[in-house]
Amino acid sequence: MSGAYSEDLRVRLIRTVRGGISARGAARMFHVSESSGVKWVQRWRRTGSVKASETRGHRRSPLDEHAAWLLGLIDAQPDVTLDEIRLRLLQEKALSVGIGSVWRFFDRHGVSFKKKPTRGRARSRRRAKGS
């Protein structure tokens, strides 16, 4: 993952905007994306800071703390669908997540959900690590 732009570059862009050039124009001058220039100026106007935000990189999934419950759920009911799991999370754990988040959780834990075209829904199964 790439790092944040330098604080020096941010300061120079902000000074240019304070001198009367638009954020988009200043971004083009300094060869950064226009959206970055606009965001830096908005952050500076809102907080007075030009520092990069602390939130960087990947965040932990909120599903990880419910791993035992989720894995137990598919052991007890192997033909459960991702949408049913998502609804049970909302009802039983008050946790609202998308189907993609549920799928990524199970993919990280080696669980696949396969469909068989002639019979409809097949059972979920755990894959061996590395496959």
| pTM, to two decimals | 0.50
Q: Per residue in 56-79, pLDDT tens?
A: 666 788 899 999 999 999 999 988
Whether residue 130 is predicted with pLDDT greater than 70 in this model: the reply is no
Please tell me which of 13-22, 51-60, 110-119 the model is most confident about, judged by mean pLDDT. 13-22
Contact 124, 79 (CB under 8 A): yes
Whether residue 1 is predicted with pLDDT greater than 50 in this model: the reply is no
The pLDDT assigned to 69 comes to 94
Q: Give the pLDDT band (50/70/90) at residue 89.
A: very high
What are the DSSP calls for the chain, one per residue?
A: ---PPPHHHHHHHHHHHHTT--HHHHHHHTTS-HHHHHHHHHHHHHHS--SPPS--SPPPPTTGGGHHHHHHHHHH-TT--HHHHHHHHHHHH-----HHHHHHHHHHTTEEEEEETTTEEEEEEEPPTT-
- Interval 100-117 mean pLDDT: 84
